[in-house]
């Protein structure tokens, strides 16, 4: 019985990650916040955050937060667009001054 519960929890974790991964791969948005991922997947904020930490090798965090100061996430495999590169250069320059 304990093995079945553990197996069910493992499958749930995989399917939860697949939901998040699918949203991060969606071409409609370059980046997503934890709040957005929670809203669009129906998963709790703390669950989304935990899965992002567990899969940090598959996720890239933007160097510049959104306008409200929230971290932005995308898949590490997605190519960096010119807009993101420009934001990184701006952030680097302003921190250097």
Higher pLDDT among residues 4 and 36, named by residue? 36
Q: What is the rounded CA–CA span in Å between residue 61 and residue 21? A: 14
Number of domains comprising the chain? 1
The pLDDT of residue 5 is above 50: no
The pLDDT of residue 44 is above 80: yes
Tokens of 71: 């971290």
Report the Cα 5 to chain-centroid distance in Å: 27
Average pLDDT over residues 14-29: 93
Q: Cα–Cα distances in Å, from 94 out to 42, 45, 75?
A: 37, 32, 26
> Residue 87 belongs to a domain with what CATH number?
1.10.10.10
Tell me the residue range of the domain where 6 lies: 2-96
* Total-model pTM: 0.74
Instruction: Label residue 4 by pLDDT band (50, 70, 90).
Output: very low
Query: pLDDT tens digit string along 47-97?
Result: 999 999 999 999 999 988 899 999 999 999 987 777 766 776 777 777 765
pLDDT at residue 96, as a whole number: 60
Tokens of 32: 């997503």
Average pLDDT over residues 7-35: 84
């Amino acid at each position: 019985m304990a093995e079945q519960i553990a197996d069910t929890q493992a499958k749930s974790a995989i399917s939860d990650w697949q939901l998040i991964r699918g949203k991060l791969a969606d071409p409609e948005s370059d980046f997503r916040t934890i709040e957005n991922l929670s809203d669009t997947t129906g998963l709790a904020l703390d669950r989304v955050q935990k899965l992002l930490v567990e899969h940090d090798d598959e996720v890239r965090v933007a160097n510049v937060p959104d306008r409200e100061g929230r971290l932005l996430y995308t898949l590490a495999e997605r190519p960096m667009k010119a807009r993101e590169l420009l934001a990184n250069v701006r952030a680097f320059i302003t921190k250097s001054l």
